[in-house]
Amino acid sequence: MTSLRRAGLLWALALGGCASFDAHSLDRAAGWHAAQVVAVGRADALGRSADRDCGGSGAEAYVVVRYRNGGVHSRSLGTSRLPPGVPLSVGDAVYVNLPECKVTLALPAEVSRTPR
């Protein structure tokens, strides 16, 4: 097999692998990122503990979630925009929309898993 043919084959395999991975990834184009609940409480107690506060006041139910937005360091976001009728606990998986942080957190089954 010639070097050119071998390089072409490797390139095709690499592109196929990336396409396969993308087909199962979240719709990041819409701004959704996987996150994990790290604190549950009241807005007045937890609001200052998050890197980014997306709203909540007083005794309102509030959660702080950690997410990765590229890189190795995670960030935290606090919000009172919780899915209705679903109690969240520390360790629960959720999705957060970073550009539209005022949007309600989504549960894994609610987020679109369409290819980009």
Q: Where are the domains of the chain?
A: 28-110
CA distance 61 to 99: 22
At residue 34, the 3 state secondary structure works out as strand
Query: Which of 4-8, 57-61, 90-94 holds the top average pLDDT?
Result: 90-94
Q: For residue 102, name the pLDDT band (cuts at 50, 70, 90).
A: confident
CA distance 50 to 89: 17
Q: What pTM was computed for the model?
A: 0.70
pLDDT tens by residue, 28-86: 778 889 999 999 999 999 988 899 999 888 999 999 999 987 777 889 999 999 999 98
